[in-house]
Structure 1
Amino acid sequence: MDLENIITMLSAVEQISYNLDTSIGLKYDTSFSQRQESLINNRFQSDVTFMVGEKRQPIHAHKLLLIIASEYFNAMFNGNFRESSSGEIEVSDVEPDIFLEILRFIYCGKVRLTIENALEIYVHAQKYMLNELRRRTIRFLENHIDSHNVLKIFTHNRLYEFSFINDRCLTLIRKNPLTYFRHEDFTSLDRKSLEIILASKKINCSDEQLFQALRDWKKNNESEYADEMVSVMNQIRTYNCSKLRFFGNMSMAEQTDLKFSIMCNHSLAFFGIGVFVKSTERFVTIEVEITENLESLGSYRFDYENKDPAAVNKANLFFEELTLHPDDWYSISVNFSYQGDSFTIINPQICHDKVKLDLESDFSAIKSVISHLYYDEIRK
């Protein structure tokens, strides 16, 4: 073969390659995965068109890839269904952007998950029997539901009522409800979502704080008859955390600040305190200030209803979650609206096999009006 023929043959091969590259969009200098992805909604060799969403947007696909990926599509195209012989299939229950992400996963194992689209993709992963996509979506949601988006996702889940979403969201909300009661998304909660939260049998807040949350929600939802929701709140509740109790001798003495450091290998989530109250007044104002290494972590004011003036009562006071770190020094200062002596514990001690407190005081005998701390262990 002479040089001229060789040049002519090479030119022809180059032209064929060029025509393939420009006519179907395949670029052979890219990875195989990229070429697969380029086939998504590509007319080249497409043998089925899906008319997607309310506007019936056409999306081109390839039956063989769909059949390999899913039993659902295998049955659709190889079974006794109308779709098996049709080149155009109506899909009205999904929007085009979600359907394209489903195809992206089928074609090349990729998916662009976001907080906004994950629930929709999960729904259609179930429908199309794409188990790996369903598991990937679950992992994504479990890792990305946080304090910033939990109320929005919880509300969105009313459309589906997926138990794993409810469990994850309610775990966060019930642990630190006061943060979410003040969140900008709280008053936008639908009625059903709010009822689920209010009916919680374990939640880290007082009854009054729960009722105040309902009142705040009602201000922005005046069309709703909120009084019916009170009935779901009238139940015996406990707290979604542990109680670290102080033990010691009780006495009438002037209350003092409690200064302490935690002695354990991990931090603690701190939700509230219990304090002794002895007063003839029906309502008692209690002010609490918490400092870390002399810097204020928060100041709180509580209006406590003293239902039994003849007894020494324990007021459970909850605030937004704080994190207590080992070896740092913390101080809790408690002041009451009434004058006179307070009931205290002398030389309080913690009896716990894992959590210890190092107590410091300028007095020979430490006195504290605090009866217990509400906490959880933080383990990474």
Structure 2
Amino acid sequence: MSSHKEQLKQKCGKLVNNSFISDVVFAVGKEGTLIYGHSVPLVHFSEVFRSMIQSDGRNRRKHKSSFIVDDVEPDIFLEMLNFIYCDHCEITQLNVMGILYVADKYKLYELERRCESVLTENDCSGAMLEAFINSHPTCSRMTELCLNQICTNPLRVFRHPLFMNLPACLFKKIVELKSIRCSDYQLVDVIERWGAHQPECVRDEINGIEQIIKDRIDNVSFNREYGGKQISMLKSDVSVPRFNGQLKAYRDLYLYGVGVYAGISQHCSEGNVIIQISVGGDHVVKEKIEIEPSDDDHSSVQDCFFKRIRLSEGQKVDIDVSMPTDLHFRQFVWYSCTREGMRCMKSDDFELQNSDSKNQLSPIAYLLYDTID
């Protein structure tokens, strides 16, 4: 039986874009590429195609039904036909947003589900942001689909370099999302980083976006805790290939970001910092931050955002930061003069201690968190 099904799929696949007994033709894309179809599978799998073809009053035995599809690229349209004819569609990180759009347009629910599975299992932020930017303002439905995906996993999207190229009008749409899965404080931090990359001519728009967030929260604060006067910042050429510390919460709070001071000398091509956060021995966060060499070998704060982790008063979590030992990192480091032999970052809400009392250096720059009243 399975062999028969495979043979049937192969034979049906040969009909894709085949003029043989075709009674439907589509002019696809901006250049109007002709793609041939067959009404039987189309009306069977898609209620949209059924409505289109049935509303065409011409006799298809004499004249093919013809339709213009100028909002879909030909390669995407062909992948959709492959799905309809033989239940096969090559969905990649590069074409997933295009296929999701065409699946939504023609109400192919199973194809939508497959696209969403690819988006969930892979980091498609680059392709999603590219589709988001290119779709505005000509394709409002693609814009909506991109916003839905950004709403589901915003932190991953915020970390992508292409995010900094987002126009102010699209950034505003993200900020206005009511069900976005990040806190207002995280959005404030993202606005600060994004705004630094924008030209001065859009400063009024940036201020307007910031005001949207300020109207939602009473007191805008980054909660970047350096421990006040207890912490001294030093510059060091010493490489710290690994840091392992323990965070103890002094009250209930949500932890959702860590900043790491790190940089790479110009002669190095690339490098990364790996951040792991564990609760009860289980990794709840594992993120890799790519670092590019700087012209002056200076360090900068590398931001790591993640889904909120709820910590109860007195609860402890392990924070592990590792860097490649074969790269020379120039780093800022902090230390505390308040305890002999124990280096710590401390505030009224938490305390972060270095597990290695002999190691006086740490690359941790700040923690992002919200207190829970």
- Shorter-chain TM-score range: 0.5 to 0.7
Pick from 353, 360, 364 the counterpart of residue 356 of structure 2. Answer: 360
Q: Secondary structure at the match of 1:50?
A: strand
Q: Which runs of 5+ in 1 are unaligned?
A: 1-27, 274-287, 303-317, 336-341
Q: How far apart, in 1, do the equivalents of 2:30 and 2:272 lie?
A: 55
Q: Secondary structure at the match of 1:216?
A: coil
Following superposition, the deviation at residue 130 of structure 1 comes to: 1.0
2:113 corresponds in structure 1 to: 135
Pick from 148, 172, 184 the counterpart of residue 164 of structure 1. Answer: 148
Deviations 1:37-75 (A, max 9, x none): 111111222222233344443322221111222222333
Alignment of 1:225-304 (within 5 A): 225-234=202-211, 235=214, 236-237=219-220, 261-262=244-245, 271-272=258-259
1:74 corresponds in structure 2 to: 50
| Change in 2 beyond 3 A, CA 1:237/1:39 | farther
Pick from 184, 197, 219 the counterpart of residue 216 of structure 1. Answer: 197
For 2:51, give the aligned amino acid: A
Q: How far apart, in 1, do the equivalents of 2:231 and 2:94 lie?
A: 57
CA RMSD of aligned residues (A): 5.2
Pick from 63, 77, 90 the counterpart of residue 39 of structure 2. Answer: 63
Compare 51-60 and 105-114 and name the one that shifted more.
51-60
Q: Which has the larger radius of gyration?
A: 1
Q: How far apart, in 1, do the equivalents of 2:184 and 2:33 lie?
A: 47
Following superposition, the deviation at residue 136 of structure 1 comes to: 1.2
For 1:57, give the aligned amino acid: T
2:277 corresponds in structure 1 to: none
1:121 corresponds in structure 2 to: 99
| Change in 2 beyond 3 A, CA 1:374/1:188 | closer
Indicate yes or no: 2:309 matched with 1:333: no
| Change in 2 beyond 3 A, CA 1:320/1:38 | same
Indicate yes or no: 2:75 matched with 1:97: yes
Q: Secondary structure at the match of 1:82?
A: coil
Q: How far apart, in 2, do the equivalents of 1:115 and 1:108 lie?
A: 22
| Change in 2 beyond 3 A, CA 1:373/1:187 | closer
Is contact 2:100–2:111 with CA below 8 Å preserved after alignment?
A: yes
Q: How far apart, in 1, do the equivalents of 2:94 and 2:226 lie?
A: 43
Indicate yes or no: 2:159 matched with 1:188: no
Q: State, as a whole percentage, how many aligned pairs show the same letter.
A: 23
1:108 corresponds in structure 2 to: 86
Q: How far apart, in 1, do the equivalents of 2:43 and 2:97 lie?
A: 24
Q: How far apart, in 2, do the equivalents of 1:254 and 1:189 lie?
A: 36
Count residues in correspondence.
282
Following superposition, the deviation at residue 105 of structure 1 comes to: 0.8
Deviations 1:142-161 (A, max 9, x none): 33335655643443464422
1:40 corresponds in structure 2 to: 16
Indicate yes or no: 2:18 matched with 1:31: no
Q: How far apart, in 2, do the equivalents of 1:296 and 1:143 lie?
A: 22
Q: How far apart, in 2, do the equivalents of 1:326 and 1:83 lie?
A: 69
Q: How far apart, in 2, do the equivalents of 1:371 and 1:165 lie?
A: 31
For 1:52, give the aligned amino acid: V
Pick from 29, 35, 52 the counterpart of residue 28 of structure 2. Answer: 52
Q: How far apart, in 2, do the equivalents of 1:44 and 1:52 lie?
A: 19
Deviations 1:321-340 (A, max 9, x none): 399875979997228xxxxx
Following superposition, the deviation at residue 110 of structure 1 comes to: 1.2
Q: How far apart, in 1, do the equivalents of 2:65 and 2:369 lie?
A: 59
For 1:334, give the aligned amino acid: W
Following superposition, the deviation at residue 124 of structure 1 comes to: 2.2
Following superposition, the deviation at residue 87 of structure 1 comes to: 1.8
